[in-house]
Structure 1
């Protein structure tokens, strides 16, 4: 699942990358969104910039954690608490886009698709002794990654969104080896189809299983501070960590013998 992200690009770079502009009524938010975040915990339900299908030439502010439109803005915290067992609206299974999420979120997959720009994210890797190591995933060129999602619009115009996840590719099956899931990432051309009001159900369905080119990505272990209730939004949180030097943090598991899969030597050597 994708509960932890990074977004370090300035708004201007996002505008140029997607050929969009920040919503003028939210222009006063530009300065705050120009501040890089190196680690963001989804369970804090932060506000981020997204590109909505209904205004696909704009970046708008959305709250991470989709909430049904039957709820009032002041009831979002109650909803997140009730749904915490299922991830508090942070992620949605792409396989249910035309099922549960179709009926519960006002057919959002047809009319309210969105793109969530990030520059990295974090997934847990579980060792054979059940010790977990956080893995940072980013593009090799440090570029922008486009997550696909859907959103809702609550009373008063509050936008809430969720990130779609899908069955893991071979790379992500080794990284996120407990759940074997990964976020749905789209290429720049695919984002245009995703956001288009003219895209057919067949085109949307095909994108829900889109296989991103994993050769564009790199992944490596980082500090467990991202899972601790401390301020981990610091640039050093993205530094690679060699857990051979921190044996207690992995219950003294011997990483030197942890071989045999194509991505693991890259992750732990």
Structure 2
């Protein structure tokens, strides 16, 4: 699944793909080397309003508005970080079907994922990205909510979103090779498809075609990194998305280490 993303560039690059993009005046133009979904963070989101693409921030993890208790809604959001592409159009009982027309994009420079190596204590962390793309877009769904400020009486509108995932291509299947949700990947798409995704006139057939799109493995690039969620600083003091060499790491498709020496913990 997709719970960790990277945005390590200038957010204004999004205007190259969306020249008519309106940027929220309150937006902070931050570079975010690592964003962890389970923290329910605010992150960049592009959606269409009044037929115009808009860049704003929403919180990761869709808010299930069918639950009345705010505390319970918040606790449920960690289970709504990702939406399986197979459920959006065909599972009429799912919440994703209910908000299927609320289509958005999540701009990223890469996503993090773990790979299991046989006999190793720690999984190997990877950063995966689209080749020659300073920024690319993952499709998502969003949910708007209106809340009343009990102090001022003002109605405040905010949004939450989910990242769409699909069955993994060969590359991602070899990296995301363990766990309950193994062999899945974010729905990587091209810039042209990204523009189509947030077009309000997109037909159901068009939505289905995008949900079924599989980016070829050769269009993706990857590198191993030191850690994803570990709090320990890197020995080389570089940023989290910098490459890190793991000794005896076998090539993708072979999960047996290159020798029998036990892996030493890096954490």
Q: What is the TM-score of this pair, normalised by structure 2?
A: 0.79
Structure 1, gaps ≥5 residues long: 245-253
1:10-29 maps to which residues of 2 (within 5 A)?
Answer: 10-23=10-23, 26-29=24-27
CA distance in 1, matches of 2:112, 2:204: 31
Structure 2, gaps ≥5 residues long: 147-155, 258-267
CA distance in 2, matches of 1:15, 1:128: 44
1:130-145 maps to which residues of 2 (within 5 A)?
Answer: 131-145=122-136
CA distance in 1, matches of 2:157, 2:233: 30
Cα distance 1:170–1:264, how it changes in 2: closer, same or farther (>3 A)?
farther
**Aligned residue number for residue 153 of structure 2:** none
Work out whether residues 68 and 105 of structure 1, in 8 Å CA contact, stay in contact via their aligned partners in 2: no
How far has the Cα of 1:229 moved from its partner?
A: 4.3
- 4+ runs deviating over 6 angstroms: 262-265
For the residue of structure 2 that corresponds to 1:174, the secondary structure is: helix
How far has the Cα of 1:81 moved from its partner?
A: 2.3
Determine if the alignment matches structure 1 residue 150 to structure 2 residue 148.
Answer: no
Work out whether residues 139 and 216 of structure 1, in 8 Å CA contact, stay in contact via their aligned partners in 2: yes
Determine if the alignment matches structure 1 residue 261 to structure 2 residue 230.
Answer: no
1:55-204 maps to which residues of 2 (within 5 A)?
Answer: 55=50, 56-70=52-66, 75=70, 78-82=72-76, 84=78, 88-100=79-91, 103-105=94-96, 107-109=98-100, 111-129=101-119, 131-155=122-146, 156-178=156-178, 179-204=182-207
Work out whether residues 140 and 163 of structure 2, in 8 Å CA contact, stay in contact via their aligned partners in 1: yes
CA distance in 2, matches of 1:193, 1:150: 14
C-alpha offsets along residues 142-172 of structure 1, whole Å, 9 cap, x if unaligned? 5212101100111232110000000000111
For the residue of structure 1 that corresponds to 2:138, the secondary structure is: strand
Cα distance 1:92–1:206, how it changes in 2: closer, same or farther (>3 A)?
same
Q: Which residue, 194, 207, 211 being the options, matches 2:214? A: 211
Cα distance 1:150–1:164, how it changes in 2: closer, same or farther (>3 A)?
same
Cα distance 1:105–1:175, how it changes in 2: closer, same or farther (>3 A)?
closer
